[in-house]
Amino acid sequence: MVRTQVAIVGAGPAGLLLGQLLHKEGIDTLLLERRSADYVAGRIRAGVLEPGTVSVLEKAGVAARLHAEGLVHGGVEIGFRGHRHRIDLQALTGRSVTVYGQTEVTRDLMDARAASGAPSVYEAEDVTLLEVTGPAPTVRYRHEGKVHEVACDFIAGCDGFHGVSRRTIPSASLSVYERVYPFGWLGVLADIPPPWEELIYANSDQGFALASMRSTTRVRCYVQCPLEDHIDQWSDERFWTEFRRRLGGEVAARVPDAPSIEKSIAPLRSFVAEPLKYGRLFLAGDAAHIVPPTGAKGLNLAASDVFYLSEALRDFYRASGAGQSGGEAERALDGYSVRALRRIWRAERFSWWMTRQLHQFPGDAFDGKLQHTELEYLFDSRAAQVSMAENYVGLPL
Ligand code: FAD
Ligand code: DHB
């Protein structure tokens, strides 16, 4: 049987970043991932980093390329009724966001892990968590046809929404809060220079659209679509026609029918399972919570969770190494869930609010009036803009 201090399940941004932060603290980890390394590296997802996330990536020693290639944006725009309203993040909060794809963050973290020599097992099948409430948990998995077991002090469940970690916890020990939205996002990636300077979140009568980017030569664009839609129904031409219509104005006129290099539909969900600790198992990132993508918070929350978890584990090992009582060391661990959940719920609130204000919802004319009133208030009130901006750039860690 192999031994490690922390077994990390899942090599998404949460698992990879936790591994790197713990490595900096001299704590050993073994990383187990169900998919292949190529699959993990190729997944197209989020694109906006809060300054707090950038600081955590700096702390983990993986921010050199991010600083060289990331695009710093001091504002975002909201499109509504033919006008674009700029929210000046820099003037309102003194902070900016960085556009740098999750794909790139993942690549930087995978390279750093390989360079550190910390072990990773990709294509680990049937990962099973055993004895998680006892003092000596074990992780069992199958790799290349053989069954392996890892003895560890702790397990970090960083295996996303569909992973095994949250499902290991008996339902009586978890409280689950959930909201499912009646639409999805159709996303397209295309290699054209962005015809817009900053991200545009557009509320239109035809539904939401988001004009984003990954670099000075690559755009990422989304439109709200029915949940039942399949990507086969969305030719590139249909996508761009709809996108231009929702974006409107002179920017739309500059958007060509670019060939897509990736196209996918994602459902929207708000979800929190708490607490984040069960015995010696911790949940972090999408394993514990999901936000609808509208506030660009999913990846950023994964980063803040694992930052808090790395500090809790560091404090545990320091306290137990210094010969302090078991109680002292355990207290360091107990604080993780409370600290992370405070920030998670604030991001849940903000993502729900952004989603609510920008999409077409079926139903009630009263709700529609309130949505338009809320947006007009935002455009007119500096106080409302400060509130949006401080949440968009991210609340302090
Ligand atoms: P994940 O990235 O999901 O990583 C979990 C890892 O665990 C995966 O590699 C998975 O293969 C592995 N795993 C799962 N089960 C097991 C198992 N049993 N054993 C071992 N390994 C396992 N956020 C935004 O802010 N903007 C966006 O545009 C955006 N788009 C998204 C699109 C999609 C389709 C999805 C799913 C998410 C999107 N998100 C977006 C959210 C953001 O990407 C996530 O919040 C972020 O990836 C969370 O990181 P994570 O490491 O917690 O989870
Ligand atoms: C992107 C995704 C988001 O959900 C968002 O709010 C901003 C940008 C993106 O993929 O670029």
Q: What is the DSSP string of 176-204?
A: EEEEEEEEEEEEEEE-S--SSSS-EEEEE
Model confidence band, residue 1 (pLDDT cutoffs 50, 70, 90): confident
* pLDDT tens by residue, 205-222: 999 999 999 999 999 999
The pLDDT of 364-392, averaged and rounded, is 97
**Catalytic residue (choose from 277, 289, 297, 359):** 297
Q: Return the closest-CA partner of residue 88 out of 392, 365, 329.
A: 392
Say which DSSP state 70 is in.
P
First to last CA, the chain: 38
* pLDDT tens by residue, 233-244: 999 999 999 999
Beta 6-9 vs 207-215: how paired, if at all?
unpaired
> Tokens in use for 341?
């959940």
Question: How much distance in Å is there from the Cα of 10 to the middle of ligand 1?
Answer: 9
Q: What is the DSSP string of 365-382?
A: HHHHHHHHHHHHHHHH-H
Q: What was the pLDDT predicted at 364?
A: 84
Find the ligand nearest to 264 CA.
1
* pLDDT tens by residue, 322-373: 777 778 888 889 999 999 999 999 999 999 999 999 999 998 899 999 999 9
How far is 48 from 297, CA to CA, in rounded Å?
8
- Could you give the angle at the alpha carbon of 177 between the alpha carbons of 19 and 295, nearest 5°? 65
Q: Give residue ranges with CB within 6 A of ligand 2.
A: 46-48, 199, 210, 212, 220, 293-294, 296
Q: What was the pLDDT predicted at 203?
A: 98
**Catalytic residue (choose from 100, 293, 317, 336):** 293
Residues 29-41 as b/e (b if ≥16 CB within 10 A, e otherwise) read bbbbbbbeeeebe
Residue 301 main-chain phi, psi, to 5 deg: -70, -35
Question: How much distance in Å is there from the Cα of 372 to the middle of ligand 1?
Answer: 33
Model-level pTM?
0.97
> Would you say the CB of residue 260 lies under 6 angstroms from ligand 1?
no
The pLDDT > 70 percentage for the chain reads 100
SS3 at position 248: coil
Q: Tally Cβ neighbours within 10 Å of residue 81.
A: 12
Burial of 230 (0-12, 13-18, 19+ CB in 10 A): exposed
CB-based contacts of 394-397 (< 8 A; 24+ apart in sequence): 394/50, 394/51, 394/52, 394/53, 394/300, 395/343, 395/346, 395/347, 396/52, 397/52, 397/55, 397/56, 397/304, 397/307, 397/308, 397/343
The pLDDT of 93-97, averaged and rounded, is 98
Question: How much distance in Å is there from the Cα of 53 to the middle of ligand 1?
Answer: 16
Please name the residue ranges forming H helices in 70-101: 89-93
Is 297 one of the catalytic residues?
Answer: yes
Candidates 36, 43, 45: which one to mutate for ligand 1, based on the most atoms within 8 Å of Cβ? Answer: 45
> Would you say the CB of residue 299 lies under 6 angstroms from ligand 1?
yes
The pLDDT of 198-204, averaged and rounded, is 98
- Amino acid code (one letter) for 195: P
Beta 154-157 vs 281-283: how paired, if at all?
parallel
pLDDT value at 20 more than 80: yes
Q: Which residues pair with 201 in a beta bridge?
A: 78, 210
Q: What was the pLDDT predicted at 330?
A: 87
Q: What was the pLDDT predicted at 331?
A: 87
Q: Contact at 8 Å (CB) between 132 and 279?
A: yes
Say which DSSP state 115 is in.
H
**Catalytic residue (choose from 141, 181, 201, 308):** 201
Q: What was the pLDDT predicted at 201?
A: 98
The pLDDT of 69-76, averaged and rounded, is 98
> Would you say the CB of residue 12 lies under 6 angstroms from ligand 1?
yes
Q: Which residues contact 53 (CB under 8 A, 6 or more apart)?
A: 299, 300, 303, 304, 394
Q: Give the count of alpha carbons within 13 A of 256, CB side only.
A: 10
* pLDDT tens by residue, 304-319: 999 999 999 999 999 9
Q: What was the pLDDT predicted at 328?
A: 80
Average pLDDT for the chain: 97
Question: What are the strands of the beta sheet with 29-32, ordered from one edge?
Answer: 120-121, 29-32, 6-9, 154-157, 281-283, 277-278
Q: What was the pLDDT predicted at 63?
A: 98
Q: What was the pLDDT predicted at 327?
A: 84
Q: What was the pLDDT predicted at 162?
A: 98
pLDDT value at 320 more than 90: no
pLDDT value at 300 more than 80: yes
Closest ligand 1 atom to 44 CA: 32
Model confidence band, residue 288 (pLDDT cutoffs 50, 70, 90): very high
The pLDDT > 90 percentage for the chain reads 94
Find the ligand nearest to 200 CA.
2
Q: Which residues pair with 8 in a beta bridge?
A: 31, 156
Q: What was the pLDDT predicted at 197?
A: 97
SS3 at position 295: helix
